[in-house]
Amino acid sequence: MVNYVNALLYGVGGIVVAGMSLLVALQEKLVYVPVVPGLTKSYPITPARLHLKFEDVWLRSSDGVRLHAWFIKLFPDCRDIAHRLEYIRIMLQQLQCNVFMLSYRGYGASEGYPSQHGIIKDAQAALDHLTQRTDIDTSKIIVFGRSLGGAVGAALAKNNPDKVSALILENTFTSVLDMAGVLLPFLRWFIGSTAFKGPKILNFLVRSPWNTVEIIDKIKQPILFLSGLQDEMVPPAHMRMLYEKASSSNSRTLFVDFPDGMHMDTWLSGAERYWRSIQLFLMRYLSQAEAQVVHPVDIQEKL
């Protein structure tokens, strides 16, 4: 009996050690994906090739990293485009807005290597650039983030209550800590945010925790949560948890779910209802004058 218990303890210990090794060695590759499988790091399709009116923007983060972004301007004739730019084309038409797309450090043409500390600086550099522009209404900056972009957007909105008018989150996780428990279920008891039970003794190993659930209730701007219930990457329960935490201290929150929405195609499966939800959110929580002529600026991850 003693030998059996010892073997069991050794086995559990081995699994935990193996999980710890995976966390230490692979966590950046799990969190940051600068190159989507099947695509190259350079942009195979650009706004110019697809007849979009745009501006190449080069920025410097506060720690000196050179960043690349596109500022895509609203214009009457938006033609069909591919990959994530297709989403932007429809956004231009449906919301009548300009779009600012930032490549984080290590992504696209931007220099450096991704990290939570660095990407927060990158997003701040993008926002600072927008607030200094003279060709847009800087009182109407809407931050949009999907997946990891939602964690970045939440941090940006929290840190800039006077510069960001509203926040839109789509299929965003509560934290990378909790996602580690999703990807490595046998570690769930030992790693995660305070929203889940357990000693969480392995949290210190995570270099980019992106603990959005711990800051979401500190965001005072209006927040729209768009959740795809068929999300194959982030459990939809994460979005519901973020909403419940936010709404406990912020009355200007709205949750909309889409029964057929997956991680990257919620906007596509949601169709007209998806865009109408965003339109109603802006009309409801921004002033009437803003809602009639809204030109939000979108800051999101660019693949």
pLDDT in tens, the chain (303 residues): 545 545 444 444 445 555 555 555 556 666 787 766 655 556 566 777 667 788 999 999 999 999 999 998 876 444 333 346 778 888 888 888 889 999 999 988 899 999 999 999 999 999 999 999 999 889 989 999 999 999 999 999 999 999 999 999 999 999 998 888 887 777 777 777 765 666 777 777 778 899 999 999 999 999 999 999 999 999 999 999 999 999 999 999 999 999 999 999 999 999 999 999 999 999 888 764 343 223 333 344 332
pLDDT for the residue numbered 196 = 61
pLDDT for the residue numbered 37 = 62
Closest by CA to 78, choosing from 47, 101, 46, is 47
First vs last C-alpha separation in the chain: 55
- Whole-Å CA distances, 18 to 74, 105, 176: 51, 30, 19
pLDDT for the residue numbered 73 = 83
- Is this model's pTM higher than 0.75 or not? yes
The alpha carbon of 236 is separated from its chain's Cα centroid by a whole number of angstroms, namely 15
pLDDT for the residue numbered 11 = 46
